[in-house]
Amino acid sequence: MQIFKLFLLLQSITLFHLVHGACETEDDLDFEKCNLIDLSDRVLTGICNRIGLDMIEHVLPTIVDDDDEDNNNNNSNGAGEEGTKVYTHEQYAMGAEECIMVEAEMERLAVEDPEELERMEREAMAEDPDILAEIIADVLEQDEKLLTDVASKIKDATIHADIVKDIVEGMLNEGEKLEDRPDVLGYLVATIMVEDPDFLDEFDDPLNHSEKTPL
């Protein structure tokens, strides 16, 4: 009898997925039967990563109040180490929603008002180049070919040779190359683009996600 019950349970689960469809990836989202809250934290984080934003570093700190964060840590039953920020699944869903909204707004501006988009990007680069450097580094780390191509472009940038020399000598360890350090390369790109926003125009499509205006 118990085996028969388990068999019926497995059949009902299979039928549920056949009728309702899976809700496991971003592609499954329809915001009716499959919503952000139904996805795992890993998938929600991946949504932000896809557009070049880090959920923990860039997104959640901007949308979660300190009081809420304290409550999360107090309710974590010791799950997080001292000083470690603990976020709820609901907050991860909020973060992913924010990333989707940022992406939609940037795509709208790219079509309807590209000059305004360029102005926002220039302001973002000037106001917070460190955040921009982190975002670019994240994108480069996920695309080995892009990393290699951008590193080559940087090495050949004679007009910016002084900037490249100072940063490379100050941040690379002995024996390291730019291709080994996406963080250093991201910092270099951000530093150069503050003065020369068109420097990487040839990589506009692959780098498009890295230049999202910080939340």
The answer to whether the CB of 126 falls within 8 A of the CB of 211 is no
pLDDT digits (tens, 9 = 90+) for 38-50: 999 999 999 998 8
pLDDT class of 101 with cuts at 50, 70, 90: very high
Report the candidate in 120, 109, 132 with the shortest Cα–Cα distance to residue 189.
132
pLDDT digits (tens, 9 = 90+) for 40-89: 999 999 999 888 788 998 899 988 875 454 555 554 434 455 556 789 99
d(C-alpha 141, C-alpha 135), whole Å: 10
pLDDT class of 139 with cuts at 50, 70, 90: confident
Q: Is the model's pTM score more than 0.85?
A: no
d(C-alpha 67, C-alpha 71), whole Å: 6
Whether pLDDT at 213 is above 50 = no
Whether pLDDT at 12 is above 80 = no
